[in-house]
Structure 1
Amino acid sequence: MSSWYKADYNQAGDYEWGKNLGCEFVQNSCYNWISKHQERGESIHPFCDQVKRGELWTQCAYYRHSVALCNLIEYQHNMPARYQYFDTIPGVPELNVGKYAGSVELADYCPYLQEFSWTDDANNPVRGSNCQDSQNNLATDLNFFGERYGEGSLCFEHASRWYLHMCGSLNSPQHAGSGCYRYSCDKEQGLSIHVLNYTHRCYHAQQVINVAFLTEEYLHRGTIVCPNCRDICGDKIKCPPDKDAPAVSAQRFKQIPCRCSLVTPLPLSLCTALFLLIVIALIHDFMLLHCNVLMGDGRTKRFIEVVVEVVVVVVVVVVVVVVVVVLL
């Protein structure tokens, strides 16, 4: 059974899968594409060989419009020969390579970079990975990589894991690999990548930019890999010639954020103030108790109580002033 429909092409989008990849991509299998590009030492995009394991390592989709995840997974048994696309896979013993294939049956189990959705603990979608959708922006305290989603943003790869410094502790987010960032193209400067309010110029392809920025929660450190300027800005400007990036001294920060944990993380200065107030209250109660035990005369006890109250008030005022000065 079939029917006729009138298409509304105003709702059509730009279909990017395989765009500009030529007849070799269209007419041959993904095995052919993967093996030939590996032999030539070229990227196998839009296919991939990054095994999907517990630690999430993302990449960029072919046209950089989204953060993507390689859907290559391990099956319990060897896949049928027609669905085995690799002779070798990085980090996988040769005997087990036949167990690995893509997770999508409709794609003949070809492993490819796939846009995905982040989920919460109940497996409900929270946000997507499309760089140009502003609804995918993260809350400030969860924006570990300094990303910005929305119009004018593209995906850029990380060269290594990112790290979060807080007091003497060092943590790493549970995922890394790529992120969405705003960028700009200038005929003099070439390609620049914007991380929060910081601008980093790309001097040549594969340049590794060392990124560091400070938030209320952490000192964030990581890396971003520069693509070829012509790949990003070629239709906008004539990119300047590649050249070596100038030596940049390590960025130093006077103070690394510190937090103590009660119900929610608090600045260390507030935690110190709370601790001092608790200590003062304990001293106050101890002195009054000591006064009641040792002093029999009512007027003497009252005099000591007043002195204790005055001392406590003075100490509290001093603590509050110190905290305010520190916070300002």
Structure 2
Amino acid sequence: MHCRCAMQCTAIRALLLMRFCVFLLTLCNVANSAYTLCQHDALNLTDVVTRVSVNPRRISTRSSSGDHLRIHIHYDESITVLNDFDYIRNNVVEVAAEFWKKALRLRFPIKSERLLLDRLCVDGLTKLQTMNGNSITFCVNGCRSVTKCGPIQIPAKHLNRCRSVSSGSYALSGEQGEGLSDTDFVLYIAILPTSKCKTSKVLGYASHCQLAAKTDRPVAGYINFCPGALSQKPMDSMRSLFIAKHELLHALGFSNSLFAMYRDPLGRPLTPRDPKTELPALGWSQTGSVYQWSSNVVKTVTRRWLSAYGNQTKEAHIVVTPTVVRVARDFFNCPTLDGVELEDQDERGVFLTHWEKRILENELMTATYTNSYRISPITLAMMEDTGWYLANYSMSHDFSWGRGRGCAFATASCLEYMLEQKKRLHPVTPFCQQMQPPKEHTEQLGVQVSCTPDGVSYGFCNLMVHAKPLAPQYVYFVQTKQAGNWSPVQPLSILELGNGWTDDARPLDYVGGKIALANYCPFFQEIEWERDSGQSTVNTHCHATDNYKSPQVNYKLERFSSTSVCVSHGPNWRLSNGGHMFALPVEGAGCYTFRCSREEGGLVIELEGGLAIPCTIPGNLISVKACLVTPAYTVHGSLICPDCRLLCDPSECPSVSFGLSAYPVIEQFSSPNRTPVTAMFASRPNRHPRFYSSHPTQSPVFGKKPYIERQQILPDQCPQLRSISSPSMTRSSFSLCLRVVICHFLFHLTFFPRDHDCIRW
């Protein structure tokens, strides 16, 4: 008896320590880690050719050209010699390029059979000469011996002859290359150890390097991945793909260095041109490195801005092009919206060249990666408003952040939006108010998580105490008086929203969201950590099949697959063995598959081990009790039923809520050998595609792992007299926890540090 008690105490202590370890890593990660940004490569204008002859032809209607954008990819020798070149080419670069080939096509297709790029001029000195009705650039001091696109040398076979001025005469010299057939845009890819790669925060950078005559459209660009930036690990592959998609779009036109080059649908410049040079006539922008654009493209406006200190004003730089405004008004449900904000944080390569993160949090073209990315119709509208492309809007993802949330969300501070939601008795989603507990409370409280707005992952509210006070305009929370005393900020407390400083409420100057680029507005972020010993990265994304958990440690009975969704938990999810009860390290939500069956009550949530919960009433709390056989732990918990209509076709949802007695609370699948998850839903398509992965097709969860036999997880509680000794609670398991490496959960994929800004235990 004494031995059994000792074993129980040892196992419980091990689990608590493991839970504390995971949370402590997460907490330190939130509080202390620096985060990384996409810093779009700044241009040296002497390294950009602006008048490449491509002879565009006008098309009369949107439907008269069915061609996709033709992108030719050239790989520099620095990348072709790598052992994993085939992987990088086939799974990263080609996949990203294929997406944009399908998403965009030229508004004015080119006539030229072959694309020939121009040579760079010595010192960047050029002279414009009109010949046969065309404006042609000649080099005043001759051509450079080597022409590069960014840091990458362009092969001679891609280059035209050198056009130069010699003794007052115009001359052609050198050999003409064969050019590139069937090409609208050529992308140069390399892995070079440039000076920009010397900082650990930079994984790669990109830009355009040559523009077409008559339209200013980019015809050549590059991406340079820094050495060691790419990896074949599953989660790193997703990051690498994000890098390529994000940076390729910068090169294609989403860049403040090209705003002054944008044109209307008829090909007319939106920014006035100097008749002598045909270049933008407004001089340099405030940053001094790009041409100044007109207010037809981006306008600076003054917004009302509410903080805990009261009403203030704040400058916003907004894209005002017509398609962007039309699409954004519909997206945000704001008929009076005057434009979409660009990032206002004044950092080189970030400022004005990405969407504002507060309003488009996990959109591909925001400057940081925090939750699984999506490509919104607003970004496709931006590319259409360059004047160079027509967009295929069916390629956009079902982007949920901010959708339909009104003008306050799209134009005002997150505080004003949250207060407006409170008045309507609505949740403040997608923002949050919950403080995570300090270290001394982790044993009792654990990490509290919630589903992210897109419903395909879960994370925790990134509200935190900063080391320095925030600027007054970014202070949103207050401390209130209770019985004459200031109320303490309790762990897991819902902080009070401010509305102007009063005698009974003082601003919490040090409290705000983790992410500065989101104007310190707090929101739920996915959690990600990396295990060593060659194991793959783990995160809280429901579609990531590599997040699979073995039955011994699957305390929330989760199922990860390409069709899994996040489901909220009820409070106090616990494990028990005998008379001992203890909490989980992460509580509040989990990932599960589902099926739609009117015969079973509509929506059925499927848990690991062949367990299922019919959800007949939205918002209902349904009890869960199951036995993890090998460690002999009983799982006690509950799920909050999602609305059937959000996941299933309405025809499969009950028109009238059924009584709970009509269906069992928890049941097993009829057969332990069910077909894979993807086949399970083949005849029951989901109503909303956002619950399907937008990434390349992944095998279903059971395509990589053997089916977990029924006896590993059973309904109801475990037998009382079973020993709790198990491999999951051994010292080696705990040591693995201590060896966990967690990099900060804010990952922008372009500059994700591999061995820096991490906490090792």
Common topology (TM > 0.5) = yes
User: Aligned pair in 2 of structure 1 residues 50, 141: CA closer, same or farther (>3 Å)?
Assistant: same
List aligned pairs for 1:62-101, cutoff 5 A: 62-76=453-467, 78-87=469-478, 90=493, 92=495, 95=506, 97-101=508-512
Please say if 1:242 is aligned against 2:633.
no
Q: In structure 2, do the counterparts of structure 1 residues 262 and 152 end up closer, same or farther at CA, with 3 Å as the change threshold?
A: closer
Give the partner amino acid of 2:403: K
Counterpart Cα distance in 2 of 1:159 and 1:32? 29
Partner of 1:208: 621
8 Å Cα contact 1:65/1:154 also seen in 2: yes
The residue aligned with 1:255 is 719
- Structure 2 CA distance for partners of 1:252 and 1:229, relative to 1, 3 Å: closer
Q: Output the CA distance in 2 between the equivalents of 1:261 and 1:154.
A: 30
1:223: how far off?
0.9
| Closer/same/farther in 2, CA of residues 203 and 109 from structure 1, 3 Å limit | same
> RCO higher in 1 or 2 (8 Å CA, sep ≥ 6)?
2
Equivalent residues of 1:190, 1:240 under 8 A apart: no
Which residue matches 1:136?
547
- What is the deviation of 1:161? 2.1
Output the aligned Cα RMSD: 3.3
Once the two structures are TM-superposed, the CA of residue 18 in structure 1 deviates from its matched residue by 2.2
* Residue deviations 1:241-270 (CA, integer Å, cap 9, x gap): 2243228689754614422479976xxxxx
The corresponding residue for 2:578 is 167
Q: Shift of the alpha carbon at 1:87?
A: 4.6
Q: Following TM superposition, by how much is the alpha carbon of 1:119 offset from its aligned partner in structure 2, in angstroms? A: 4.8
Q: 2:634 aligns with which of 208, 216, 219?
A: 219
In structure 1, the gaps of 5 or more residues are 266-328
1:183-214 deviations in Å (ceiling 9; x for gaps): 11223421111111111111211100100111
Q: Distance in 1 between matches of 2:602 and 2:423?
A: 32
**Are 1:183 and 2:584 matched, yes or no?**
no
Contact 2:433 2:495 in 1 (8 A): no
Q: Does the CA-based 8 Å contact 1:71-1:112 persist in structure 2? A: yes
In structure 2, do the counterparts of structure 1 residues 112 and 125 end up closer, same or farther at CA, with 3 Å as the change threshold?
farther
* Identity %, equivalent residues: 24
Equivalence for 1:56: 447
1:20 Cα deviation from its structure 2 partner: 3.9
Q: CA deviation at 1:96?
A: 6.5
> Structure 2 CA distance, aligned partners of 1:92 and 1:19?
25
CA contact (8 A) 1:72 1:112 kept: yes
Structure 1 segments of 4+ aligned residues over 3 angstroms from their partners: 2-8, 10-13, 19-24, 86-98, 118-122, 234-240, 247-254, 260-265
Q: Contact 1:204 / 1:242 at 8 angstroms: preserved in 2?
A: yes
Work out whether residues 553 and 728 of structure 2, in 8 Å CA contact, stay in contact via their aligned partners in 1.
Answer: no
Size of the aligned set, in residue pairs, is 264
**Structure 2 gap ranges (5+):** 1-42, 51-68, 72-96, 103-244, 246-374, 376-395, 439-445, 480-488, 497-504, 667-714, 731-761
Farther-moved stretch of structure 1 (221-230 vs 161-170): 161-170
Q: Residue 46 of structure 1: CA displacement? A: 0.8
- Greater displacement, 19-28 / 176-185: 19-28
Aligned partners of 2:651 and 2:548: how far apart in 1?
26
Distance 1:255 1:24, change over 3 A: same
Residue type of the alignment partner of 1:255: P
Separation of aligned partners in 1, 2:401 and 2:581: 40
**Conserved? CA contact 1:117–1:125, under 8 Å:** no
TM-score, length basis structure 1: 0.69
Contact 1:118 1:129 in 2 (8 A): no
